[in-house]
Structures are given as C-alpha cells and as structure tokens.
C-alpha cells in the first residue's frame, strides 16, 4: 500500500514550521509519516531525513513545500532528487513548484521525465546566476582598484613621529618594549616596518648594517 510522507526542515534561526505544515496539510499526511527537522543549514546534519530515507519504500510519495528542503545548493538537491526518484523509486511532489511532481495518472502529464528536466534547468539557471554574480563582483573590484580603492587588511604603519622615537631608541633612551608599546605592533610587524623605514630614511645605515651581518 502506498504511503505518503512529508519532510519539513527549518533552520536554527527560523524555528517557525507553521507555513510548511499548512502547505502540506491538504495531502493528509499521517502524523507518524511527518518528519520535521530543526537543523542549522551550516552543519546540515539531518537525522530526521536519514530516518525518513530508511523508512520510505518504492512507490511511496514524499511531499515537500519547496525544493531547497533537500539541500543547501543545487548540487546536493540534484543528488537527493536522483536518490529519491531513481534509487528509492518514490514519487516526489514540491508544493511551491507544480512542475516538480513525478506522479503520473490523475490527469498529471508531468511525471519523472519532465520533472527531471525541470530540475536540471533550475540547477543550470542557479549556477549561471552564481557565475554572473561572481563576474559582476570581479568586475566591480577591478573597477574599484583602477580608481585607487584598496582591499584587504589595512597595513600597520609606524607613527608619524617615529623618526624621533627611533633616535631615542638608538640612543638608549627607550627600550624595545617601550617602542613596541608606542607603535602598537607585534614584534614581527614592527621589524618589517622598521626595515622599510631604515631603507627610506637611513639607507647608508642599512647598507653598513648588512656589511656587519656578513662579517
């Protein structure tokens, strides 16, 4: 005997299942056949869905409010659709998208073939849109860079009066720790900026220092 099942998934942020329950109500799904998942989309660990997949049998009917209940992206959705309709041999009805209805008979001319094609088209459109978004983002970043906009973390800079600080440090009037505290930098960052400072303001000193290191 054909069984009808329903699967509902809500994220941890949106725990309101009422809209999905209302959408599935006309299908008169037995309470024991209704699987409700309250799960974070980030982790996507779905124990209720796994229980459903163990229980559902060939010829049974699964009702979903929307196709995104099956996965986080169209790659996952397509894989779960294939498992359900081809491996498990169950029918699937997506309430929000009537073309995604694999049933035949009762005047429904769609069936698995057209539903499969429809889902493939949806996946293609979604992928194309993602690629278009990435391209627009890349073009926007390139245009901004041409205008001089800089991206990424802000480079730590030495204070404007570092020349005075440097001389006090070299004369022994300041300790290294005091200089680091004043510059608000980690030691590794400070010495990277210090090398740049010496090359710019004291190039001869830096050359002599390199000779000393070689000796």
Question: If residue 10 lies in a helix (H) or strand (E), which one and from where to where?
Answer: strand 4-10
Residues 6+ apart with CB under 8 A from 5: 29, 33, 34, 35, 52, 55, 56, 60, 61, 62, 63
59 backbone φψ class: left, alpha, beta (φ>0; ψ -120 to 50): left
- Torsion over CA of 51, 52, 57 and 59, rounded to 10 degrees? -170
Q: What's the token pair of residue 46?
A: 């779905």
Question: If you write DSSP's letter for every residue of 41-97 in order, what string do you get?
Answer: TTT---HHHHHHHHH--TT-EEEESSGGGG-SSHHHHHHHHHIIIIIS--EEEETT-
Tokens 């459109």 sit on residue: 125
C-alpha span between 48 and 4 (Å, rounded): 16
160 is catalytic: no
C-alpha span between 126 and 124 (Å, rounded): 5
Residues constituting the chain: 215
> Of these residues, 11, 66, 160, 210, which one is catalytic?
11
Query: Among all residues, which ones are annotated catalytic?
Result: 11
């Amino acid at each position: 005997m054909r069984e009808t099942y329903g699967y509902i998934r809500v994220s941890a942020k949106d725990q309101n299942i009422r809209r999905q329950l209302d959408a599935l109500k006309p299908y008169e799904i037995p309470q024991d056949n209704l699987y409700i998942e309250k799960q974070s989309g980030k982790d996507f660990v779905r124990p209720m869905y796994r229980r459903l997949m163990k229980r559902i049998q060939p010829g049974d009917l699964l009702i979903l409010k929307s196709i995104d209940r099956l996965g986080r992206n169209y790659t996952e959705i397509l894989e779960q659709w294939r498992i359900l309709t081809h491996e498990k041999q169950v029918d699937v009805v997506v309430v929000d998208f009537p073309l995604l209805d694999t049933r035949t008979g009762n005047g429904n001319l769609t069936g698995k073939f057209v539903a499969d094609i429809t889902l493939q088209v949806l996946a293609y459109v979604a992928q194309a849109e993602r690629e278009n978004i990435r391209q627009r983002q890349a073009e926007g970043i390139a245009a901004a860079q041409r205008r001089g906009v800089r991206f990424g973390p802000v480079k730590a800079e030495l204070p404007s009066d570092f020349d005075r600080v440097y001389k006090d440090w070299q004369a022994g009037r300041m300790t290294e720790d005091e200089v680091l505290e004043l510059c608000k930098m980690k030691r590794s960052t400070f010495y990277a900026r210090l090398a740049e400072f010496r090359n710019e303001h004291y190039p001869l000193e830096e050359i002599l220092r390199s000779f000393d290191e070689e000796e």
